[in-house]
Structure 1
Amino acid sequence: MGRHRLEPPPRVRPRYGRVAAAGLSLLVTLVALLGGLGLLPVQAVRGGGEVAVSSSTHHRAGGSDGSSAEGDRGDADPPARVAAPEAADPTGTALPAGSGEGRRVVFAKGAQRVWLVDPDGTVEATYLVSGSVTDNLRPGTYDVYSRSRWAVGVDDSGVMQYFVRFAHGPHAAIGFHSIPTKHGTPLQSETQLGTPQSHGCIRQRLSDARLMWDFARVGTDVVVVA
């Protein structure tokens, strides 16, 4: 009997490339199967083995008060901006239209308000007053013709300060002055300013009467509007 040399069995080298390819193929097949059954929200399976999960679903994020806000809509057009209408002057302190030009005093009978206007049209001051309870002053342009630091009303009806006269009434001069006092008591309260209270003149709080006194020298225009 001849002698044979016992040969060692050949080594089998695992082919990792094929194993990886087979595993990847199995993964892709499994993902596609689950996606077809609706069990996995698959958007696409790319050649490199990357699985892209859909992100186009919109979400609502709950607010702290239980409300919800709709998520971004991607390429949706932003809402158009609508310009807000200009609001009218809510306080009624705007200088009335058609109230003259240049340096002047403006008195609005309906608003019971006065404006002190500089030469360039800038309003230096505006405040509420109390005009006459009777219609004794027509709209128009007047001018200051007399001033008195102190004055006493007709028939001892009260003491006034900073009297600036610009018109003539049926029985007495018409002008701006402080709220009259009688025996030290004001004939009206400051909270009543803005409503007609006098019997001819235009009453002002004392601080505003000082402003008028400093502003309206003799010859200053006074424009009265309805």
Structure 2
Amino acid sequence: MARGSSAGAVVAALTAAALAVIGFFTYQAHAAQERSKAGSAGSRDGGSGSADGSGKSEREKRQEKETLPAFSGAGERVVYDLDRNRVWLMGERQEVKRTFKVVPSSIDPEPGTYKVESRAPHVTGSDGVPVENVVRFATSQGTTIGFSAALDGSMPDADPVRQTGGIREHRADGEAMWLFATIGTKVVVVR
């Protein structure tokens, strides 16, 4: 009989331990939900949900920066936002194929709809830098405007003294643009 009560005590102890573990996990889940609610409330009411006081998380701010601009057209196209210095390569079904930051040229194209007019695999840019995957789509103030990537990978700010039309991309982005934006591809420029 002592042996049976000993086994019963072990089962009771294991059951108590299991219940304690379940209780702990339940507490953790509840606490996580409360933290999440508190964080959301802080963001909604202008609380300090972020270091800059905007109430937006870094992820929300990044998504906002990467969100396709409204009224940027439909169908397959390149969208270039002058204010955000960002490009979107858009598929026929309104899906973002790729989005990336660029360094603007010293002369901006006017907002509007253009088409890719010419392309060149390798040239020397208007700033004297060897570039690749050049996709030209506009002319402004007598300067041809287009996307390109410097062969050395540099992304310097445009010299405001020189009239340049090269919108610089990282080399991988330039390759994606080259493959996407063939002659006649629509380019929408927005502010």
Q: What TM-score, normalized to structure 2?
A: 0.62
Is 1:175 aligned to residue 175 of structure 2?
no
TM superposition shift of 1:147: 0.8
The answer to whether the Cα contact below 8 Å between 2:87 and 2:102 also exists between their aligned partners in 1 is: yes
Show the counterpart of 1:102. Answer: 75
Q: Cα RMSD (Å) of the superposition?
A: 2.5
- Residue 223 of structure 1 pairs with residue 184 of structure 2: no
- 1: CA distance, partners of 2:84 / 2:145: 18
Q: Within 2, Cα distance between the matches of 1:172 and 1:110?
A: 20
Q: Deviations over 1:102-128 (max 9, x none)?
A: 000000111000000001100010000
Match of 1:200 among 140, 161, 165: 165
3-state SS of paired residue (1:167): strand
Deviation at 1:171, TM superposition (A): 3.7
> Residue type of the partner of 2:78?
V
Give the corresponding residue for 1:144: 116
Contact 2:147/2:168 (8 A) holds in 1: yes
Which has the larger Rg? 1
Task: Indicate the residue corresponding to 2:86 in structure 1.
Answer: 113
Partner-residue secondary structure (3-state), 1:130: coil
Residues 137 and 180 of structure 1: is their aligned pair in 2 closer, same or farther, counting only changes over 3 Å? farther
For 1:22-42, what per-residue CA distance to the aligned partner results, in whole angstroms no more than 9, with x for missing partners? xxxxxxxxxxxxxxxxxxxxx
How far 1:180 moved relative to its partner? 5.7
Give the alignment's TM-score, normalised by structure 1: 0.53
**Which has more helix, going by share of residues?**
2
Structure 2's unaligned 5+ residue stretches are 1-36, 45-55
Identity of aligned residues (%): 36
Q: Does 1:213 align with 2:174?
A: no
Q: C-alpha deviations, 1:83-118, integer Å up to 9, x for none?
A: 865x69411100000111100000011100000000
Alpha-carbon distance in structure 2 between the residues aligned to 1:180 and 1:108: 24
